[in-house]
Structure 1
């Protein structure tokens, strides 16, 4: 299975392609220095294969590389960060 995660700023979401077909996305709102993740959706045909986790991991890695912080309004993103404390430093404190 060939996986590729790309930011699609025009649609305000990170997209994951599985074998060149869209298999899921993580929607966000961009604010200065901040990415608010609002919703994650993965195609049921690839559910349970780590596609959602790969999507969120790479989205967070790209967010970190830009120096932005994260607000995890999406329950899937919030749960991912809870399970992977190495990303907890990205969470914005309000």
Structure 2
């Protein structure tokens, strides 16, 4: 599981957030253009040998999905979004 926090819309097409992997002390930050699907920024605060990139992929996909919602269009985000997979 990964938790997305601090979501903001920085322009008409760009959304960014911090993502917090489950049971980890580290977190990352991602910024994506939802129209072109281009990653604008990818930054992670890593511990050595951390597997945070796996969580990045899930966070980025969730941001793209949020970019298709009314939340994005209205710049009205929840305080947290959860992403779970099996």
Measured against the shorter chain, the TM-score band is 0.3 to 0.5
TM-score for both structures, normalised by structure 2: 0.45
TM-score for both structures, normalised by structure 1: 0.43
Give 1 or 2: higher helix fraction.
1
